Amino acid sequence: MRIISLIALFFASALWAQEREPNNLLGQKSPYLLQHVYNAVDWYPWDEPAFAKARAEGKPIFLSVGYASCHWCRVMAEESFEDDAVGAFLNDNFVSIKLDREERPDLDEQFMLVTRTATGTAGWPNSVFLTPEGDPFYAGGYYTRDTFLSLLVELEQRWREDRETIDATAASLGGVVREYLGRKAQAKPLTPELALEVSRQMLSGMDDFNGGFGVAPKFPKESGLLFLLDQAERNMDTALLEAVQLAAEGMVNGGIHDQAGGGFHRYAVDNEWAVPHFEKMLYNQALIGRLLMRLDGLQPNEAFARAAIRTFDYVLRDLQATGGGFYASEDADTLDENGEYKEGYFYLWTPDEIRAVAGGEAEFLISALNVEENGNFEGSSTLRLSYFDGDRARLDRGLELLRLARMARTPPNKDEKILMGWNGEMIITLAAAAKAYGRPEYLAAAQASARFIMDNMRNGDGYFRAYIAGEASIEAQLPDYAGFGRALVALHDADPAAGWLAEARRIARYMRSNFQEDSGIFRMNEQAEGLGAFIPVDDGEVASGNAQAQWLLSALARRGEDAEFVQQADALADLLSGSALGLPEKRAAGLAAVDAQNRGDLGPLRAVSNGAVLVQAEYDRAAGVVNFTISVAEGWHINAHEPLEDYFIPTSLRVNGEALGPEAYPEPLITTLAFNRDTPLALYDGELRLSAPVGEGANVVVLVLQSCSDEICLAPQDISFGFW
């Protein structure tokens, strides 16, 4: 199926280009690069032949960075790269390189920083001009055809007549970017007080009316929201919780949420989350779904649970590859009834279109979903629930009618790359969702993705980053290794007997051997490319590579007795927090990862006692209880509520500081152990269930337990859970 879609893409490109000869992108696997094989521009992939040609001919390089589902990338291609005059000028005076940002996030981040440094803003397509040595001297984004051609003429003239100024600009701009990429902040510990202070400062950058960070264009910025949610839970801070809930409500009710099909678009072009930029990315489904699931776990919310489940169902239905793994994205643009690409066409509705397919439910849906005669996007309407407070079951039946009806339209193209790091994020979320919502198919899909990557994307002792059309390619980068390692830990927690942890440990050791600097911080790549080695601490579409490395090392340290992971996690923590505290709004994941290293995991599932005990909490708000399932590994036990020996720490539950009575605990097993044969002990092993009653408002439930084997007892642990 993947091969058929790629062949179709070739033929479509050829038809649009009126039988042009293919350029140097022929033979590439990236769907984005294949979209440009028959452009008027003689594109090269990012590789030494392009730079060698530029040096040999003394020409500047035009670098264009984008991705397959990018709307404005497609627009610039149609306006400029398929234009014969633009193509001829570029071919005569420049060497042109096309780069898929999803294949090479290391290069993408570097050149996004170039453009942001040069112009103050950046996006895709990213248009950067380089010397033959690879130093940037000019940068911008999308240009109309005439503006772009005028710019090319101007830069070509400057290249011929004023090389001294261009070289000076390239040296200056390249130097600034290299310094930023290689930055190493002074180590600084993250105290609980400092973490809370930073989170409260971040509230000042949020939209108090619509929710979310900043103003349009408005991105979910999941790393920032998840950090704020961490601090809300750790401190039982209602203001922080409500800020995250407001952002989630805005997204769930808005047009950024695909109300009919489930899942979320990449960002909104307005403050109200009403009009999205219509592409749908795998990482958004993983991270927004995780945010909604966590919010629902802290304070049960039917709307959040519904949106999360619909998102996961969308991923399994529309983004899951047949052999395992998840595809990268779906396009913003789709073909309209005239065969022309139109942004968002697949997702938009008019009142008459709804009446044509929904029968007697049409007026209900038109009202509930805010569909108007002259809608909010080019005369049609995005679907929104901003004022809906009615029958959700009826609404869902109507939305399913719309979902099925729109399948008669040409669906968006899929970018069928399977990316290691993005799949890691989806695996983490689905493993947790399987337990939270009683959906074993989510865990099965997560396991299938992990097996696919392990079976098909190995690269010697390491991994490739991308898999497309039957072939894995491009060396994996730090977020790939750390993200997939975290995913394997999540699968271990969901199914401890399946053996996932061994590969997670091996990946962590490989990552440390091949990516770690002497200081303890991690590089993006094994070998530097582009403008040089850089230290990834800024969050992008997913958490920064160093934040993910911290999470992985910390998670492994809490699930075994490997002193190396404990030491490495400790060593990285202060370095990462020192960097993250300098720019917390861009490095929130680093703060969250260091806080987890210092104070332990959050969320409903906790691994304690070196991984010998898993604690799963489930909040039943209707019943007013928190139910705990405590799973103890074979060969281990925890002391009972009354362990029969004074020097053993009893298992106990406290709710808002008040200890529960003996009736809260089941009958223990009475036995003797190798180190205490003369005295019987009371203990729990296998699986134990406890319940704690909670009231309205903020509740802190603390579970205290001490784990022992037949030979040793570990230090007791206090495990704190917050609920509203």
What does the pLDDT read at residue 675?
65
Would you say residue 3 has pLDDT above 90?
no
- Residue 588 pLDDT: 97
Tell whether the model's pLDDT for residue 183 goes beyond 80.
no
pLDDT digits (tens, 9 = 90+) for 204-216: 999 999 999 999 9
Task: State the pLDDT confidence band at 339, using cuts at 50, 70 and 90.
Answer: confident
Number of neighbouring beta carbons within 10 Å of residue 172: 12
- Displacement of CA 26 from its chain's centroid (Å): 31
382 phi/psi in degrees, rounded to 5: -75, 155
Contact 253, 246 (CB under 8 A): no
Asked if 310 and 300 count as a contact pair (C-beta separation under 8 A), the reply is no
Question: Is residue 71 a contact partner of residue 297, using CB atoms and an 8 Å limit?
Answer: no
Cα angle 498, 312, 552; round to 5: 45
Q: Pull the structure tokens for residue 130.
A: 């380089």
pLDDT value at position 184? 66
CA distance 565 to 268: 40
| Distance (Å) of CA 661 to CA 211, 366, 652 | 42, 55, 9
Best CATH choice for the domain 205-332+415-603 from the list 3.30.70.100, 3.30.870.10, 1.50.10.10, 3.40.50.300:
1.50.10.10
3-class DSSP state of 650: coil
Alpha helix (H) ranges present in 183-336? 192-202, 222-235, 238-253, 282-298, 302-314
DSSP-assigned beta bridge partners for residue 608: 613
- Mind listing the pLDDT tens digit for each residue in 652-695? 999 999 999 999 999 999 988 766 667 888 999 999 999 999 99
Note the pLDDT tens digit of each residue in 123-150: 899 999 999 999 999 999 999 999 999 9
Task: Tell me: pLDDT of 648 over 60.
Answer: yes
Between CA 100 and CA 328 the distance in angstroms is: 12
Whether pTM > 0.85 for this model: the answer is yes
528: pLDDT confidence band, cut at 50, 70 and 90?
A: confident
Q: Which of 9-13, 352-356, 448-452, 559-563 has the lowest mean pLDDT?
A: 9-13
Kindly report the backbone phi and psi dihedral angles of residue 709, in degrees, each rounded to the nearest multiple of 5, phi listed first. Answer: -105, -170
Place of tokens 């007791």: 716
Residue-wise pLDDT tens digits, 293-330: 999 999 999 999 999 999 999 999 999 999 999 999 99
Average pLDDT taken over every residue of the chain: 92
Question: Would the pLDDT of 485 be above 50?
Answer: yes
CATH topology of domain 606-723: Immunoglobulin-like (2.60.40)
The residue among 256, 334, 322, 329 whose CA lies nearest residue 288 is 256
Instruction: Summarize pLDDT for 234-273 with one digit per residue, the tens.
Output: 999 999 999 999 999 999 999 999 999 999 999 999 999 9
Q: Which is more confidently placed, 2 or 631?
A: 631
pLDDT in tens, 62-110: 999 999 888 899 999 999 999 999 999 999 999 999 999 999 998 998 9
Q: Where are the domains of the chain?
A: 2-181, 205-332+415-603, 339-411, 606-723
- Mean of pLDDT values over 582-606: 94
**Banded pLDDT at 11 (limits 50, 70, 90):** very low
Strands 658-659 and 652-655: antiparallel
CATH tag, 2-181: 3.40.30.10
Joined together, the tokens standing for residue 179 give 């310094």
